[in-house]
């Protein structure tokens, strides 16, 4: 199992697919999922010629889940440590939800390491704090079962849940197998995040993907990012939160077209 050890000693699980000499592309997962949330993008991404690096954010999947609260400075450094270990100096980036937040932090603080970036179904400020404190309390006391059903209802429209119960249950299983300590640590990072004042300094060509029916990172949160990143493009998909799953073909066409430079 491929693992990278971060600068603070945490093991991060990752997978690399595609052409060894292809341009690198990092996929970063959402809160409560793992690198397999991107399964529906892999064929299309490698078909575009990318060398795809996807990984489990700390506390998720097969990556270690150290105790305590996390911050995006640490989640972003995990990506840098992984790229350093793979000897990748510069990469395209696609993150969704928490993965998008990680990408925005990287764009702000390490602009030379990243080219085109897709920030999908995400936000740069996510109040109220009490919501996240309650989520942390719930998983610490009741495990992931205490939040799984409510999360899935927010992540997919009712029409999708009814039409594709297999895919819905696959994602639900990811939530249930996430370590509560890792989930709680990442909830704290989202709770404490506020990158609003810095968005205007982002230099990377950016695409912001918005789910038209997303009750989590709402269209208003996405539009805020579009307005404040210089030159940002946007794509609105007919989905709730996990747009890459619910509208896979549209997502692949728009996002991979942008990241490959086919759509400008």
CATH number of the domain encompassing residue 85: 3.40.50.1820
pLDDT exceeding 90 applies to what percent of the chain? Answer: 98
Mean pLDDT, the chain, whole residue set: 97
Q: How many domains does the chain have?
A: 1
Q: Which residue has the higher pLDDT, 264 or 49?
A: 49
pLDDT band at 263 (very low <50, low <70, confident <90, very high): low
Residue 15 lies in a domain: yes
Distance between CA atoms of residues 150 and 176, nearest Å: 12
Q: Is the pLDDT of residue 172 over 70?
A: yes
Give which of 60, 145, 148 is closest to 99, Cα–Cα: 60
Owning domain of residue 24: 3-259
Residue 162 lies in a domain: yes
pLDDT band at 262 (very low <50, low <70, confident <90, very high): confident
Global pTM? 0.97
Q: Is the pLDDT of residue 264 over 60?
A: no
100-147 tens-digit pLDDT: 999 999 999 999 999 999 999 999 999 999 999 999 999 999 999 999
Distance between CA atoms of residues 237 and 59, nearest Å: 29
Residue 22 lies in a domain: yes
Q: What is each CA distance from 93 to 27, 102, 122, 170, 247, in whole angstroms? A: 6, 10, 14, 24, 19
Which residues lie closer than 8 Å to 206 by C-beta, 6 or more apart?
A: 107, 116, 117, 118, 119, 229, 231, 232, 233
3-61 tens-digit pLDDT: 999 999 999 999 999 999 999 999 999 999 999 999 999 999 999 999 999 999 999 99
Residue 264 lies in a domain: no
Q: Which residues of 164-194 are buried (b: 16+ CB within 10 A; e: fewer)?
A: eeebbeebbebbeebbbbbbbbbbbbbbebe
Q: Answer for the pair 205, 116: CB distance below 8 angstroms, yes or no.
A: yes
Tokens of 3: 């693992």
- Helix/strand/coil (H/E/C) assignment for every residue in 240-260: CCCHHHHCHHHHHHHHHHHHC
Residue 113 lies in a domain: yes
Over residues 169-183, the mean pLDDT reads: 98
Q: Answer for the pair 139, 184: CB distance below 8 angstroms, yes or no.
A: yes
């Amino acid at each position: 199992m491929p693992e990278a050890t971060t600068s603070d000693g945490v093991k991060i699980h990752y997978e690399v697919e595609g052409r060894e000499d292809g341009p690198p592309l990092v996929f970063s997962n959402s809160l409560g999922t793992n690198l397999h949330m991107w399964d529906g993008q892999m064929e299309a991404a490698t078909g575009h010629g990318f060398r795809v690096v996807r990984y489990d954010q700390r506390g998720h999947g097969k990556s270690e889940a150290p105790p305590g609260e996390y911050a995006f400075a640490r989640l972003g450094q995990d990506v840098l440590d992984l790229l350093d270990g793979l000897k990748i100096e510069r990469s395209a980036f696609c993150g969704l939800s928490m993965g998008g937040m990680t990408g925005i932090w990287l764009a702000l603080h390490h602009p030379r390491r990243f080219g085109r970036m897709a920030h999908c179904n995400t936000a740069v400020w996510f109040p109220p704090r009490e919501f996240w404190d309650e989520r942390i309390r719930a998983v610490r006391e009741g495990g992931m079962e205490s939040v799984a059903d409510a999360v899935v209802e927010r992540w997919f429209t009712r029409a999708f849940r009814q039409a594709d119960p297999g895919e819905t249950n696959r994602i639900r299983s990811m939530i249930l197998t996430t370590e509560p300590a890792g989930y709680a640590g990442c909830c704290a990072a989202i709770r404490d995040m506020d990158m609003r004042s810095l968005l205007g300094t982002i230099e990377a060509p950016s695409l912001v993907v918005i789910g038209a029916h997303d009750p989590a990172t709402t269209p208003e949160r996405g539009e805020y990012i579009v307005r404040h990143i210089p030159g940002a493009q946007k794509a609105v998909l007919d989905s709730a939160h996990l747009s890459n799953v619910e509208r896979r073909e549209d997502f692949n066409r728009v996002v991979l077209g942008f990241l490959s430079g086919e759509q400008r």
